[in-house]
Amino acid sequence: MALNKNQHGFTFIELSIVMAIISVLSAIAFTYFNDLYARGRDSAAISDAISLITVVNNHFLDKRSVNYQTSTPDGSGIGVEDVDGNSIPPVFTFSPGVRIKFDGTDNISPGDEDTMGKFVAYIYHYQGTPDPDDIANYGVFRRGVLLIIDEASTVHEHTLF
């Protein structure tokens, strides 16, 4: 059987170079899409923080006492008992994966008209953008939102980290 000299194929080196280029492009795309997912999760935490401001304000206006520092065992809900220790449904349920970590301040909403509370917490997504320096100093090593609500001075602010 005679070989036709006009038949040409790819050499092993050419195929290896093409495979290397494809794998480098795949690694770049994977990193980019991973970053997009993390930023989307961060957005969920930001959205929940803004919604939580409304929830706290509504409970203050309704003059209901809610212990906001109490959260559900999995950290997905907040305020599961009133100041008398009675169980109530969570006043706020976070988006999937969003968690809250409280500062050591008094987070009790008013028990009567004259008592006002302060709410300080860090809200983040446990799969959000990594923050190896933990610049918020909350020990979660994720970017998130520092939420401060002071009912006495009507200060409502959220700071992105």
1 in a structural domain: no
99-157 pLDDT, tens digit per residue, is: 888 776 555 555 544 445 677 788 888 888 888 888 777 778 888 888 887 766 666 77
Q: Rounded to whole angstroms, what are the CA distances from 113 to 32, 52, 66, 148?
A: 51, 21, 14, 21
73 in a structural domain: yes
25 in a structural domain: yes
Domain that holds residue 144: 12-160
**For the chain, what's the residue count?**
161
Note the pLDDT of residue 145.
Answer: 87
Q: Which of 58-67, 94-103, 136-145 has the lowest mean pLDDT?
A: 58-67
If phi over 0 gives left and psi between -120 and 50 gives alpha, with beta otherwise, what is residue 109? beta
18-30 pLDDT, tens digit per residue, is: 999 999 999 999 9
Note the pLDDT of residue 15.
Answer: 93
State the total domains in the chain.
Answer: 1
91 in a structural domain: yes
30 in a structural domain: yes
**Residues 6 or more apart from 65 whose CB is under 8 A from it?**
82, 83, 84, 108, 109, 110, 111
pTM score: 0.70
Instruction: Specify whether the CB–CB gap between 79 and 88 falls below 8 A.
Output: yes
Note the pLDDT of residue 157.
Answer: 73
Share of the chain above pLDDT 70, in %: 75
6 in a structural domain: no
Binned at pLDDT 50, 70 and 90, residue 6 comes out as low
7 in a structural domain: no
Instruction: Specify whether the CB–CB gap between 152 and 119 falls below 8 A.
Output: no
